[in-house]
Structure 1
Amino acid sequence: MNAPDPKAPPNEVEVIKSHSRLLRGTIADGLVDPLTGAIAPDDNALLKFHGSYQQDDRDLREERRRQKLEPAYQFMIRVRMPGGECTPAQWLALDEVAGEHANGTLRLTTRQTFQFHGIRKPHFKPAMQAIRAAGLDTIAACGDVNRNVLASANPFRSPLHAAAGALARAISEHLLPKTNAYQEIWLDAPAVDPATEVEPIYGPLYLPRKFKITVAVPPDNDVDVYAHDLSFIAVADGDRLVGWNVLVGGGMGMTHGEKATFPRLADLIGFCTPDQAIAVAEQVVCVQRDFGDRSNRRHARFKYTIDDRGVDWFKAELERRLGFALAPARPFSFDHNTDAFGWQDGQDGQSHYTLFVENGRIADRGQRRLRTGLREIARIHTGIFALTNNQNVTIAGVSPAQRPVIEALIAEYGLQREVSLLRRNAMACVAFPTCALAMAESERYLPDLITRLDEVVDACGLADTPITMRMTGCPNGCARPYIAEIGLVGKAPGKYNLYLGAGFHGQRLGKLYRENIGEEAIIEALTPLLERYAAERQSGEHFGDFLVRAGVVVAVAAGREFHD
């Protein structure tokens, strides 16, 4: 057991939280300060709990520095939307927020919700209030708390998918912070004395780091259960939910050059009944609250608590707190973590249309007027919009009478885009120009790289073969690149680390294959491997599996092996 030293001093963020008056800080004062577009540094650490990050336009940073101007400060706002379910009325309201207060685009995230970018300080509070007026909020969408809870997309697909969405919502509500700070700062609610408030689950310091939960319905692993702190996998008898398998200890983030940091796959620890799931979620969070590292933030994620103390220790501690033992895990299997595009049949005569949204950016570009088309669909749609965890959107619950109308709108606005399988199964984080952590491009660059790689894939005769590919601008792993068959992680402008050999449905980590390489070297590295795959693969063998079988990379079974 390699537990952190309990006598080590708390890190800076822990001190800020301890003085924050339960997440209030001086955020309210900073919002009305006309002398700067920013808020105070300590308040930035607290702002995350409210669902926002302060950023600046990095494309303008150098020019503004030369002009002796402060950075072009702006804010990103992330919506809390457990299970990714959005009504048409909410879609229209969020589209209006994008136009009135943000940069005119909606961004679908890799965690089944919306982000807004480019929000200036005078628009900050009005945007938050508009989101709340739509029946949504941003509470705990970021910060050292449980964040947006994911569920296998579209509750209309089956009773099991409906149950997954319901559990995601129930967990999200149960684990929300109880402080009145959000209501006071953003919604002008009467002030409450923080000394009279209690956080029954989190305590006054909340968690040591962010916490992520998913709910999956096999055979779809569209939520990437192995990449998250806690996951529930549906176990069914036909369409009847029997209970949930429980996985713990996954996580993607790492730091370049620091071998003590690594991505880790979650461990399967048992099975719980439907009525036990909320208690399991709460007590898993409470174990991390009490044992997570509050001294070193780079070692503060739940995956390190599990890795340091061991899965057996954790399970015993969890069951002690629960007052019951988890049952043995039940059999399950996944076969992909991607989306099925186009029209799919649903229940009760309904159908669903999943629309490809490249890297999640909803905007009007050329003949493909994505934002306008989806707005017009929202005006007449009577079902819901179901956001996927792969940055796409499903127009769900379409009645037989509505289907031709929606088909006509899809055609009118050019929404149906024929793209390669490689592009369909790719994801990118935002990176430049807004993310402060980005070391390289991602969202703006990946489409061009795929155009070049598509030429290689086509020449190899692999156009009909699905391969997962993900890119991030830094090693924090927001697009989960370490479990993509081709993973690219930003190292410097124009330079990436190339990871290969992960499992097609996210069940195995990739391995570092080339370090700090640019576009030409990426193409040169992948071309012969794709050629070998085309010539030597076995029937039904995925690219990542082939690379492991052929000895190109060594399979990574555990997080600590990642750097070996």
Structure 2
Amino acid sequence: MAETDSKISTDTDKLSKMEGIKEASRQLRGPIPEELLNQEPSFSGDAAQLLKFHGTYQQDNRELRNRKDADGNRMDKAYSCMIRTGVTGGKMTADQFLVEMDLADKYGEGTLRLTTRQAIQLHGVLKQNLQRTIHEISKIKLNTYAACGDVNRNVMCNPAPYKNNPVLEQMQEMTAMIAAHLKPRSTAYFELWVEDPDGHKENVAEFQPVEEPIYGATYLPRKFKIGVALPEDNHVDIMTQDIGLLAIVENDAVVGYDMYVGGGMGRTPAKKETYPALGKPLAFLAPGEVCAVAEAVVKVQRDFGNREDRKVARMKYLVDNWGIDKFREKVAEYYGRPLSPVRGVKVTGVDDYMGWREQGDGKLFVGINIENGRIKDEGDLRIKTGLRAIVEKYKMPVHLTALQSMILCDIDPTDKDDIANMLKEHGIKTAEEYTISRRFSMACPALPMCGLAVTESERVMPDLMSQIEAEMAKYDLQEELISVHMTGCPNGCARPYTPDIGLVGKAVNKYTMFLGGNAEGTRLGFIFQDMVKFEDVAPTLSPIFAYFKAEREGKESFGDFCNRKGLEDLTEKVTAAA
């Protein structure tokens, strides 16, 4: 975008196709009402795009694309829907969690998936069951509205359930306020899924638009993400968000937030103008200013973000093209008053909340590692059955973490042994039975359901971590936190550009390896090698682990070490060891 205050062109010949779909959608309805009533197994392209705003992605099982019937004729794609429930700050009741599990069995493919953004996903829901499933979610006071699409999505926050902790309480309250303030106002969601679960009420002739004061007629150019964290615990990776809020604490109270803008993970290797980015400091805000300034930021992105090329439509490109000073001036103009400079407090740590811990009110909580977020039963590891039994018996709240795991809250100390035994009986390991590196590992779903994946991620990550752990153990590094994130494509859903080691799918069974980030999420890694075969990942890392063991400085982390040594130095070590 040019260095100008001019808004992106509204010439329909230049706008992306998605802009036309939104413009003609009757505030996110489009052909969805009619298509819900037909007998087709899938939605049209326009309907599928608009369904994202309602929290649904249409997918097909890519491993079944070449299947044939008994006569040898190629069959249609095996379509289904992924439904994402936004869980603000990751906080759920026992009943909400249990109903999501029930829906996975009744309408989905039998598993639940905890996401990297504290949401929960059902997979494999057939088109004819979509309305009923979303309606059932609405009945437990959760919803899928704006969990996807060109709007602000699930707002993240530190999910630690410490009680008598005013700081965390204030942060969670702020998270809920932001989420409510930035929800779209269109009534389409409620008409389609909440009021009319059987699809017989919607009438095109009766459509009456409502005002969308924040999003306007065509919503945002691209998706928008927000997170709230503490300097000592950047659990939700605020620097990777469009808006990151770092709580500033004085005398056990949040006095305000340093707001960062323009973070984002996605990139397209074939387009050099795309890249991952960390947030840049915008302003210090008193708590009472946060929602209004967040709205101003969203409106600036709405009015000046790129609507012609969706690959460069995220707000990070607007911030970079303008520069943070100009962006700040425009936000202040929309807000109506000057903005105060950030306090500049640094991120210093991160926690995963795993294991048994005191809650602060005489009760306990236990963090349970869910590898890559998949709640299922497989062999002796019966996560789904075990969690159902425990939550049904004790009815405790459930909090979702940003590392695809979960926390069981409000546990009476007298119940600890019984719960620990139930976990053990179902093969669910304690936090101490995992390396801390595995606890901090993440992977996106990738194949077979994601249409963007070019190679495996979730299904191969456990094996990869075992290989990496074996190499770490050779150098007595098994107690070190070396964070590893993996994705099946460059879009970055598992935030692979900021950890110590990032692996990004580039081709079938091949990955781009990034080194030099950190678990705290404050630095981007650099490309160390491209097109690394899956089976070569751990052997490639082994000589670097040896080098780290021999020449680290003090308590230097692996990512800090790689960043200090740099690409050329590390390449020489790997080449010499080959």
Could you say whether these structures have the same fold, taking a TM-score greater than 0.5 normalized by the shorter chain as the test? yes
Q: Distance in 1 between matches of 2:461 and 2:152?
A: 30
> Once the 2 structures are TM-superposed, how far is the Cα of residue 121 of structure 1 from its aligned partner?
1.3
**Superposition pairs of residues 302-381 of structure 1, within 5 angstroms:** 302-381=315-394
Question: What is residue 558 of structure 1 aligned with on the other side?
Answer: none
Change (3 A) 1:77 1:288: same
**Superposition pairs of residues 259-298 of structure 1, within 5 angstroms:** 259-298=272-311
> Once the 2 structures are TM-superposed, how far is the Cα of residue 269 of structure 1 from its aligned partner?
1.8
- Conserved 8 A contact 1:355-1:393: yes
Q: Distance in 1 between matches of 2:134 and 2:506?
A: 34
- Conserved 8 A contact 2:353-2:407: no
- Alignment equivalent of 1:144, drawn from 103, 125, 150: 150
- Alignment equivalent of 1:11, drawn from 2, 10, 16: 16
- Alignment equivalent of 1:506, drawn from 500, 521, 535: 521
Question: What is residue 161 of structure 1 aligned with on the other side?
Answer: 168
Question: What is residue 186 of structure 2 aligned with on the other side?
Answer: 179
Q: Distance in 1 between matches of 2:567 and 2:303?
A: 42
1:68 aligns with 2:74: yes
Q: Distance in 2 between matches of 1:266 and 1:171?
A: 18
> Once the 2 structures are TM-superposed, how far is the Cα of residue 73 of structure 1 from its aligned partner?
0.2
Question: What is residue 120 of structure 1 aligned with on the other side?
Answer: 126
- Conserved 8 A contact 2:8-2:303: no
The residue matched to 2:154 in structure 1 has which SS? coil
Partner AA of 2:341 in structure 1: P
Question: What is residue 49 of structure 1 aligned with on the other side?
Answer: 53
Partner AA of 2:47 in structure 1: D
1:92 aligns with 2:98: yes
- Conserved 8 A contact 1:354-1:392: yes
Partner AA of 1:166 in structure 2: E
- Conserved 8 A contact 2:359-2:410: yes
**Greater Cα shift, 401-410 or 72-81:** 401-410
- Conserved 8 A contact 1:22-1:194: no
- What TM-score do the two structures reach when normalised by structure 2? 0.92
1:23 aligns with 2:28: yes
Question: What is residue 33 of structure 1 aligned with on the other side?
Answer: 38
- Conserved 8 A contact 1:64-1:71: no
- Conserved 8 A contact 2:264-2:278: yes
Q: Distance in 1 between matches of 2:535 and 2:378?
A: 28
Question: What is residue 575 of structure 2 aligned with on the other side?
Answer: none
**Greater Cα shift, 382-391 or 423-432:** 382-391
- Conserved 8 A contact 2:161-2:359: no
1:213 aligns with 2:226: yes
Partner AA of 2:407 in structure 1: T
**Greater Cα shift, 73-82 or 418-427:** 418-427
Q: Distance in 2 between matches of 1:200 and 1:332?
A: 33
Question: What is residue 492 of structure 2 aligned with on the other side?
Answer: 477
The residue matched to 2:244 in structure 1 has which SS? strand
- Alignment equivalent of 1:111, drawn from 86, 101, 117: 117
Partner AA of 1:515 in structure 2: D
> Once the 2 structures are TM-superposed, how far is the Cα of residue 366 of structure 1 from its aligned partner?
2.0
Change (3 A) 1:367 1:264: same
Give % identity: 40
- Alignment equivalent of 2:216, drawn from 200, 203, 210: 203
- Conserved 8 A contact 1:338-1:390: no
**Superposition pairs of residues 426-445 of structure 1, within 5 angstroms:** 426-445=441-460
Q: Distance in 1 between matches of 2:463 and 2:449?
A: 20
Change (3 A) 1:167 1:381: farther
> Once the 2 structures are TM-superposed, how far is the Cα of residue 364 of structure 1 from its aligned partner?
1.2
> Once the 2 structures are TM-superposed, how far is the Cα of residue 215 of structure 1 from its aligned partner?
0.6
- Conserved 8 A contact 1:210-1:301: yes
Change (3 A) 1:338 1:347: closer
Partner AA of 1:53 in structure 2: Y
The residue matched to 1:343 in structure 2 has which SS? strand
Q: Distance in 1 between matches of 2:504 and 2:8?
A: 32
Q: Distance in 2 between matches of 1:237 and 1:381?
A: 37
Question: What is residue 249 of structure 2 aligned with on the other side?
Answer: 236
Unpaired runs of 5+ in structure 2?
571-578
Question: What is residue 562 of structure 1 aligned with on the other side?
Answer: none
Question: What is residue 561 of structure 1 aligned with on the other side?
Answer: none
**Greater Cα shift, 424-433 or 316-325:** 316-325
The residue matched to 1:89 in structure 2 has which SS? helix
1:496 aligns with 2:496: no
Q: Distance in 1 between matches of 2:10 and 2:408?
A: 53
C-alpha RMSD over aligned residues: 1.8
> Once the 2 structures are TM-superposed, how far is the Cα of residue 168 of structure 1 from its aligned partner?
1.4
Change (3 A) 1:79 1:7: closer
Q: Distance in 1 between matches of 2:223 and 2:350?
A: 23
> Once the 2 structures are TM-superposed, how far is the Cα of residue 167 of structure 1 from its aligned partner?
1.3
Q: Distance in 1 between matches of 2:398 and 2:392?
A: 12
Partner AA of 2:329 in structure 1: A
- What TM-score do the two structures reach when normalised by structure 1? 0.95
> Once the 2 structures are TM-superposed, how far is the Cα of residue 406 of structure 1 from its aligned partner?
2.4
- Conserved 8 A contact 2:516-2:526: yes
Q: What are the Cα deviations for residues 140-159 of structure 1, in whole angstroms up to 9, with x where unaligned?
A: 00000000000011343532
Instruction: Give the length in aligned residue pairs.
Output: 554
Q: What are the Cα deviations for residues 348-387 of structure 1, in whole angstroms up to 9, with x where unaligned?
A: 1122110000000001122221111111221133541110
Q: Distance in 2 between matches of 1:201 and 1:151?
A: 23
- Conserved 8 A contact 1:472-1:479: yes
Q: Distance in 2 between matches of 1:287 and 1:85?
A: 30
Q: What are the Cα deviations for residues 263-320 of structure 1, in whole angstroms up to 9, with x where unaligned?
A: 0110112211111111111111111001100111111100011011110011111112
Change (3 A) 1:409 1:239: farther
- Conserved 8 A contact 1:500-1:512: yes
> Once the 2 structures are TM-superposed, how far is the Cα of residue 521 of structure 1 from its aligned partner?
2.9
> Once the 2 structures are TM-superposed, how far is the Cα of residue 346 of structure 1 from its aligned partner?
1.7
Q: What are the Cα deviations for residues 69-92 of structure 1, in whole angstroms up to 9, with x where unaligned?
A: 210000000001110000001111
